[in-house]
Amino acid sequence: MDALRLLQAYPWPGSVREPEGTLLRALATASPSRGLGARDIEPLLDPERRIDRLEEESFYRDLLDGGRPLPELKVRLERLYLLRLIRKLGGDLKKAMETLGLRHSHFYSRLKAVGIDVQSLRRARPN
């Protein structure tokens, strides 16, 4: 019941498909033995992750539907991976570079190649 209240209380600023997608993701990750609860839905409603979720959903939809060129899918996958890694490391680009085992110039060229703006990452990083 808490899950239902949480879903009803959320403002849903996106399209009409957003609640359905959120519920499907929550169901996919919930433990069958304990059922769906607010603990499964709350992390999906985090506004900071909303844009990444939408980008990720779009990638998986394209991946499953087919019809996209492989190079395009590879770039999108690399972008998602790099953004998640950087977020996991608290925005620390140096740690991300070390984790990936890349030299400075190669790391930054990969970010640029997949459309990640380094300046916006630096501005968004907590001090």
End-to-end CA distance of the chain: 38
pLDDT digit string (tens) for the chain, length 127 residues: 578 887 887 777 667 788 888 888 888 877 777 888 888 887 777 655 555 666 777 777 777 777 788 888 889 889 888 988 888 888 899 999 999 999 999 999 999 999 888 887 776 665 5
| Whether the model pTM is above 0.75 | no
Dist. CA 69–CA 121, nearest whole Å: 28
